[in-house]
Amino acid sequence: MGNVAQAGSHSAAGQMTGYLYQCELALLELARRIWLDATAEIRMELLDDIEFLDPNDHTPLELLQSKHREAAGPLSETGKDFWRSLASWIDALKDLSVFSGVTMPLLRLVSTQIAPENSFLHHLRPGTGRKVSEALARMEEIAQDKDGPDGTAKDRALFMKLTAAQRHQLVSAITVDDGAPVMSDLDSSLAKELGITPSDHAQDALAEIKGWWYGMAVRLLERRNPERMLASVKAEQLMCRRDEVIGRYAGKGLKATQTLRNLSQAEIAGYADRLVVTQMRWIGLPDDEVAMHLRDYHYARAQRSEWLRTFKVTTERLEEYEGELHYEWEAAFRRGTRRIRDGMSEEDRQSAGQDILDATMDRVADTPLSPGSVTPPWIGKGTVHDLSDQADTAEADRALGWHPDYSRLCKGRNETQEQ
């Protein structure tokens, strides 16, 4: 993977650059797909440097090897960059049982160097000029050359151990993308693919997206902590992050498409048995106020669902947003229950609960879903009600309610329903 330090050098700079290049190339490759297929899914360092997966069954559609060389020059037919990539692909394909009939994924070698004309590498470039049979014949000739480099002898032997049909199948799947941008040129390529136009904030926006990506890459490479591990990243997640960042620097927020209206009696009745309503009943809220809060709850759910469906926001950002709203509720709840004592009347407890609800609504109204922008107040209010609707099943860091004893009441409600 990547490139190694020059022979005789004690510096690991080249190797480190190779790792960083792989990470940023993965981002660039994902960015190239966001406009065509939002379901495109990427992972790293499992079967290959970079993999793109079938969104239906998560089998690899593409295995990509990245090779970064700062020095310009030809990509060698006998060098390690190609033959070690080939050996890696053969091992991965055996793990996938591809040679037993499973569909062959695309095998891509992305190199900053140039494939010389008339080389088998040039014959395997994408486009109409591909010459698979000629490339295969030349590869077999090089693979069997006893005077070939010792450093690739095992890799070349591994290739020749395949049957003739398997070698043809393998070579047919290979694409050599030479002349790829070097590390120092990736930013301009990435900005172009993401649609970040030159502006006062272009570099800041690009740096923020890259910072998010490096965080995702760390989780993609995690192997020990299941809670930190991330199986893959989808193009829609990158698109959401892009829109969020660019929108913030442009002073734009998420556009709300729902038109608020009072709910009908039938719509209100449909929520009668939901915990969101029960929580409001526990604090003695009158029907007209219950209906007002249900309106925010109803339309916030619909708006969040639409934003998710149209890739305007990620589930990760929604979870972060819920955490921010929960923090605001917690501050209101702690202040509102400060003077609650044993023996205090239920009427006083309900009054405290109403104060907690009102204070929470005031606090969350201005919390933006898209950082740095303005989110309609009913989104935050309705989202908090959605969290209250899950208080009997949510983890402790997401559960919330209005009555000072809401936790005990939720538990009693669950026990009653189970009987």
My answer on whether 226 and 356 are in the same domain is no
Instruction: Report residue 3 as tokens.
Output: 């490139």
Does a structural domain hold residue 2? no
pLDDT of residue 11: 53
My answer on whether 120 and 233 are in the same domain is yes
Give the separation between CA 94 and CA 92, rounded to whole angstroms.
5
Residue 37, Ramachandran bin (φ over 0: left; ψ between -120 and 50: alpha; else beta): beta
Does a structural domain hold residue 5? no
Pairing mode of beta strands 60-67, 106-111: parallel
Does a structural domain hold residue 259? no
pLDDT of residue 187: 93
Pairing mode of beta strands 233-234, 41-44: antiparallel
Does a structural domain hold residue 120? yes
My answer on whether 164 and 281 are in the same domain is no
Angle at 126 between CA 120 and CA 130, to 5 degrees: 50
Give the separation between CA 363 and CA 419, rounded to whole angstroms.
38
My answer on whether 366 and 404 are in the same domain is yes
Q: Are 317 and 304 spatial neighbours (Cβ–Cβ below 8 Å)?
A: no
- Residues 177-190: tens digit of each pLDDT: 999 999 999 999 99
Q: Are 136 and 67 spatial neighbours (Cβ–Cβ below 8 Å)?
A: no
My answer on whether 211 and 159 are in the same domain is yes
Distances from the Cα of 90 to the Cα of 4, 85, 86, 143, 160, angstroms: 22, 9, 6, 14, 11
My answer on whether 330 and 367 are in the same domain is yes
My answer on whether 242 and 276 are in the same domain is no
My answer on whether 192 and 52 are in the same domain is yes
pLDDT of residue 238: 93
b/e code 351-368 from CB counts within 10 Å (16+ = b): ebbbbbbebbbebbbebb
pLDDT of residue 5: 39
Give the separation between CA 106 and CA 93, rounded to whole angstroms.
11
My answer on whether 36 and 79 are in the same domain is yes
My answer on whether 135 and 280 are in the same domain is no
pLDDT of residue 6: 43
Query: Which of 218, 246, 274 is at the close of a domain?
Result: 246
Query: Which of 214, 246, 278 is at the close of a domain?
Result: 246
Residue ranges, the chain, pLDDT below 50: 1, 4-10
Does a structural domain hold residue 256? no
Instruction: Report residue 93 as tokens.
Output: 């394909």
Query: Which of 246, 277, 303 is at the close of a domain?
Result: 246
Instruction: Report residue 271 as tokens.
Output: 């929520």
DSSP string, 199-241: STTHHHHHHHHHHHHHHHHHHHS--S-TTT----EEHHHHHHH
Q: Look up the domain containing 278 and give its range.
A: 265-418
Q: Cα dihedral sign for 19, 23, 26, 31?
A: negative
My answer on whether 150 and 287 are in the same domain is no
pTM: 0.68
Question: How many domains in the chain?
Answer: 2
Instruction: Report residue 262 as tokens.
Output: 């009072």
Does a structural domain hold residue 234? yes
Q: Are 24 and 227 spatial neighbours (Cβ–Cβ below 8 Å)?
A: no
pLDDT of residue 39: 87
**319 alpha carbon, distance to own chain's centre:** 13
My answer on whether 101 and 29 are in the same domain is yes
Does a structural domain hold residue 332? yes
Does a structural domain hold residue 334? yes
